[in-house]
A and B are shown apart, each in its own frame.
Chain A
Amino acid sequence: MAFTLPSLPYAHDALEPHIDKLTMEIHHGKHHNAYVTNLNKALEAHPDLQSLTIEELLANKAAKVPEAIRQAVINNGGGHANHSLFWTVLGPNAGGEPSGALSDAVKSSFGGLAGLKEKMVDAGTKRFGSGWSWLVKTADGKLEVYATLNQDSPIMEGKTPIFGIDVWEHAYYLKYQNRRPDYLAAIWNVVNWSEVGRRFSAK
């Protein structure tokens, strides 16, 4: 079964003005699409891997994947997993604050939403080159914030990503150019906290 590009749950201009329409079109329709295409290409000669979930493929630094294609699967499979999550944790008329169990966890781990934002923005700003800033649930259920390189996914290290901010330049350059901090400040206006909360509470 080939991997497929998921549809966006909202229109391309739904996240305006914080994330612009053209970026959403290219980011989803071109960049994410290319990761899916290249992932399927990498797995072409490996039908046994094609039936695995993306999480199974990426687990333990993609240990199940033959060395010859491992980096290609990390790059493109990670890209597919990361972007699939990204579209769901963003949304129009979103923003605001987390609630319930997630809210309690954010309070106890980071002192509250402001503390979480500061940490994620810092991780995103300090990520040199391409990568992601992550809020993850660790194997023992705790919250953690850190950044990964390129399309490396927290899944590779057994962590559950619940919110991610893409800091590849393609995620913000058309609207923000070099001003990554402005993008990192704006994106909180479109965080879909109910989806992030759902991911936090999932088993």
Chain B
Amino acid sequence: MVITKFNALNRRSFLVTGMAASAAALTAGLIRPSAALADAKYELPKLAYAVDALEPHIDKQTMEIHHDKHHAAYIGNLNKILDANPDLQKLTLEQLLANKAEKVPEKDRQAVINNGGGHHNHTLFWSILGPGAGGEPKGELAAAITSTFGDFTKFTEKMNEAGTKRFGSGWAWLVKTADGKLDVYSTPNQDSPVMEGKTPLVGLDVWEHAYYLKYQNKRADYLKAIWNVINWAEVDKRFAAK
């Protein structure tokens, strides 16, 4: 089995491939450990940096609550649903969400979209943020952004527009589509681009809980500030992944 992305493992490939990469994906929280292991559940991935590392752009208290409460709740709820649907436990999170979560029985589908999407989205979010980050992408991604959007500034403007225009809760996304092109758009609530076969590269959480303690109603200010903490090395990796 080839590991196509760090988070694309399922239990069969976990067993045959190296422990190191599998452990990384486990730590990332995006596969459920085999049922033979204790506590066969999705787990909250640790932040790769301190909760105050993104100050002043994203405040410490928000990082604590956003990660330890909101993200943790999505995982708890997701695990509860999977406890009741054992045949879904062998799927990766992406497989669960694919094609608008069609593999999930209708009665649980929206809950899996909400909580599975929430888990996927936030796991990506923590990884594409970082301290001492910001700046601009390099290499192939930079070239793709220029050719798709004109220049980096126009790209960030498009993202921020998608974010400010998303009424209610949701996310603004930079994605790679199935044919390798870049696209910017927003989704409602915790809907993931993975549901439509797109690969999320940058996600900006515009649920009010992502910014309200520091920015209150000023979502546009939050969106301007967050570009100071985007970890382009991680975004590049996601863009380049097959």
A residues with a Cβ closer than 8 A to B are 26, 30-31, 34, 75, 128-131, 149-151, 168-170, 173-174, 177-178
Nearest B residue to A34 via CB reads B217
Nearest A residue to B218 via CB reads A30
Given that A129-B188, A169-B209 are contacting pairs, would A26 and B168 also be in contact in the complex, using a CB cutoff of 8 Å?
A: no
> Which one, A31, A75, A177, contacts B217 given CB within 8 A?
A31
| In contact, A174 and B209 (Cβ under 8 angstroms) | no
Taking CB atoms and an 8 Å cut-off, the chain B residues in 164-215 that contact chain A are 167-170, 188-190, 207-209, 212-213
| In contact, B208 and A168 (Cβ under 8 angstroms) | yes
Q: Name 27 A/B residue pairs within 8 A (Cβ), A-sorted.
A: A26-B216, A26-B217, A30-B217, A31-B217, A34-B217, A75-B167, A128-B110, A128-B189, A128-B190, A129-B169, A129-B170, A129-B190, A129-B207, A130-B169, A149-B168, A150-B168, A151-B167, A151-B168, A168-B208, A169-B212, A173-B208, A173-B212, A174-B213, A177-B65, A178-B65, A178-B69, A178-B70
Q: How far is the CB of A167 from chain B (nearest CB, A)?
A: 11
Shortest 4 CB-CB distances between A and B: which pairs?
A169-B208, A130-B168, A129-B169, A150-B168
In the bound complex, CA of A173 to CA of B62 (Å): 11
Q: How far is the CB of B154 from chain A (nearest CB, A)?
A: 25
> Which one, B73, B110, B188, B208, contacts A170 given CB within 8 A?
B208
Nearest A residue to B64 via CB reads A177
B114 interface hit (Cβ, 8 Å): yes
| In contact, B209 and A178 (Cβ under 8 angstroms) | yes
Give the most central of B65, B213, B217: most A CB within 10 Å: B217
| In contact, B189 and A173 (Cβ under 8 angstroms) | no
B residues with a Cβ closer than 8 A to A are 65, 69-70, 73, 110, 114, 167-170, 188-190, 207-209, 212-213, 216-217
Q: How far is the CB of B78 from chain A (nearest CB, A)?
A: 13
Nearest A residue to B115 via CB reads A128
| In contact, A177 and B213 (Cβ under 8 angstroms) | yes
In the bound complex, CA of A131 to CA of B209 (Å): 14
Given contacts A128-B110, A174-B213, A178-B70, 8 further A-B contacts (CB under 8 A): A150-B168, A169-B207, A169-B208, A170-B216, A173-B212, A174-B216, A178-B65, A178-B69
- Enumerate chain A residues within 8 angstroms of B207, measured Cβ to Cβ: 129, 169
- Enumerate chain B residues within 8 angstroms of A178, measured Cβ to Cβ: 65, 69-70, 73, 209
| In contact, B168 and A30 (Cβ under 8 angstroms) | no
| In contact, B114 and A128 (Cβ under 8 angstroms) | yes
Nearest A residue to B62 via CB reads A177
- Enumerate chain A residues within 8 angstroms of B168, measured Cβ to Cβ: 129-131, 149-151, 168
